[in-house]
């Protein structure tokens, strides 16, 4: 290191970001200390000040380190801090910051009335942010943000929100391309309009009865968890779609044409059948389909899927390459009339991989017939995985069914695998 030019030393040390490493290296020599002025990023882990016994407050230590850097572009703070401390840091580095990540899970509800400005309001100083990630956010009041015109990625993980506050925050981020709201509680009905949004993941925590409307004409990837009513009309570029609801029911889905959709994942305990059938109808061009919904039924009554004709299903999804079937969907394809209308020229042209989850020995004959048909008509089939999951029955039919599956696997051992 002593024989290297200053520029090379600066380049090497600029790749450090852990605050403890930076502090240690600054004590090695004056040359190293001067080189650390050109750091681009700083990271303060959760335990940065756990054993701190000095006179200076942790906020002051962070401020000193930030003030010694010429042009800080990334700041990540997981250690506890105050709004006053955050405000002082951003006044120093706000104009150069491009990436900001803050863990604010020490923000209690009572503090919002005491702290002025609040931590959320302090962020407004960093006008040139391109990415913003916040952990443990309390956003019950609308943050006083001006427009973040350069912000392209916003991630909020673990938050308690109110609808107007969330709308106000998103209104200041009109040029977003990536939005992630993960583990967010309190959202009831939200309408999001972001003209440049491409990637969107929304995970609403609670009873699963949220209402969501998206107006995002450039949307390419969408994942939604915890909504009962979903409306997305502009879907020309949507290629990947995941809808799940682990706590509630999915009553209504309203999508535009899904001509570009390649991957569809549908999950949940209960969906209304109209919502399921509409998704399957719209997703006629899909290449990968994952179905894990246990029941249908409009209200409290849990009902099985109605019968689905296997020939009609695959004729309606001619591009399907990978099909993961779980529970009720597989049972619906295995009804006794499902294979009655097989024409002589019927084939499943593109299907290469099937994953089937079997949970019951009921209708074992029809289930075996369906598995055999998938191999028989799937001319491009390369892999079939059969998962035996929690088959609860003391009756001998369980053993007989399992024996049949094992026989089927032995006869097609190059393709079929049992897990």
Give pLDDT, residue 257. Answer: 92
Is residue 111 over pLDDT 70? no
CA–CA separation, 284 and 117 (whole Å): 52
pLDDT level of residue 134 (50, 70, 90 thresholds): very high
Dihedral over Cα of 19, 23, 25, 29: its sign: positive
pLDDT level of residue 108 (50, 70, 90 thresholds): low
pLDDT digits (tens, 9 = 90+) for 142-176: 999 999 999 999 999 999 999 999 999 999 999 99
> What is the average pLDDT across 6-34?
80
Give pLDDT, residue 340. Answer: 72
pLDDT level of residue 315 (50, 70, 90 thresholds): very high
Cβ atoms 398, 361 nearer than 8 A? yes
pLDDT digits (tens, 9 = 90+) for 378-406: 999 999 999 987 666 555 678 888 899 99
pLDDT level of residue 51 (50, 70, 90 thresholds): confident
Give the predicted TM-score (pTM) of the model. 0.90
Give pLDDT, residue 392. Answer: 60
Cβ atoms 351, 378 nearer than 8 A? yes
Q: Which residue has the tokens 């916003």?
A: 154
Is residue 177 over pLDDT 60? yes
Give pLDDT, residue 55. Answer: 82
Q: In 98-226, where do the E strands start and end? A: 99-103, 131-139, 153-161, 178-185, 189-193, 199-205, 210-215, 221-225
Q: Which residue has the higher pLDDT, 201 or 309?
A: 201
CA–CA separation, 120 and 275 (whole Å): 38
Give pLDDT, residue 14. Answer: 77
CA–CA separation, 382 and 133 (whole Å): 42
| Helix (H) or strand (E) segment spanning residue 408 | helix 396-411
Lowest mean pLDDT among 35-39, 208-212, 233-237: 35-39
Query: What average pLDDT does the chain have?
Result: 90
pLDDT digits (tens, 9 = 90+) for 209-226: 999 999 999 999 999 999
Is residue 298 over pLDDT 90? no
Give pLDDT, residue 394. Answer: 56
Give pLDDT, residue 115. Answer: 61
Give pLDDT, residue 391. Answer: 64
Read off φ and ψ for residue 405, nearest 5 degrees.
-65, -40
């Amino acid at each position: 290191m002593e024989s290297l030019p200053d520029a090379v030393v600066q380049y090497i040390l600029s790749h450090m970001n852990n605050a403890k490493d930076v502090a240690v290296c600054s004590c090695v020599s004056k040359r190293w200390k001067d080189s650390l002025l050109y750091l681009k990023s700083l990271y303060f882990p959760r335990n940065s000040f756990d054993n701190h016994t000095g006179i200076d407050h942790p906020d002051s230590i962070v401020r000193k380190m930030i003030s010694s850097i010429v042009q800080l572009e990334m700041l990540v703070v997981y250690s506890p801090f105050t709004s006053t401390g955050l405000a002082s840091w951003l006044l120093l580095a706000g104009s150069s910051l491009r990436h900001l990540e803050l863990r604010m899970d020490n923000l209690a509800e009572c503090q919002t009335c005491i702290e002025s400005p609040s931590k959320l309001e302090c962020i407004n100083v960093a006008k040139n942010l391109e990415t913003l990630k916040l952990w443990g956010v309390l956003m019950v009041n609308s943050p006083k943000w001006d427009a973040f015109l350069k912000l392209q990625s916003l991630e909020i993980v673990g938050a308690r929100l109110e609808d107007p506050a969330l709308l106000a925050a998103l209104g200041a981020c009109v040029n977003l391309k990536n939005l992630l709201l993960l583990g967010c509680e309190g959202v009831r009905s939200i309408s999001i309009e972001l003209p440049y949004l491409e990637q969107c993941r929304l995970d609403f925590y609670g009873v699963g009865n949220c209402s969501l409307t998206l107006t995002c004409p450039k949307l390419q990837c969408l994942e939604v968890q915890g909504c009962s009513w979903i409306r997305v009309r502009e879907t020309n570029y949507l290629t990947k779609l995941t809808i799940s609801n682990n706590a509630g029911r999915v009553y209504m889905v309203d999508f535009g044409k899904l001509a570009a959709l390649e991957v569809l994942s549908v999950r949940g305990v209960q969906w209304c059948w109209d919502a399921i059938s509409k998704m399957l109808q719209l997703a006629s061009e899909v290449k990968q389909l994952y179905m894990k919904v246990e029941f249908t039924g409009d209200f409290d009554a849990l009902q099985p899927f109605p019968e689905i004709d296997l020939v009609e299903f695959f004729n309606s999804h001619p591009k399907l390459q990978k099909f993961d079937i779980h529970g009720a969907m597989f049972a619906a394809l295995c009804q006794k009339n499902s294979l009655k209308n097989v024409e002589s020229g019927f084939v499943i042209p593109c299907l290469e991989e099937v994953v089937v989850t079997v949970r019951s020995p009921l209708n074992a004959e029809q289930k075996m017939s369906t598995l055999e048909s998938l191999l028989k008509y799937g001319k491009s089939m390369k892999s079939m995985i059969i998962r035996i999951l929690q088959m609860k029955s003391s009756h001998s039919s369980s053993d007989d069914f399992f024996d049949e599956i094992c026989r089927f696997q032995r006869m097609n051992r190059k393709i079929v695998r049992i897990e």
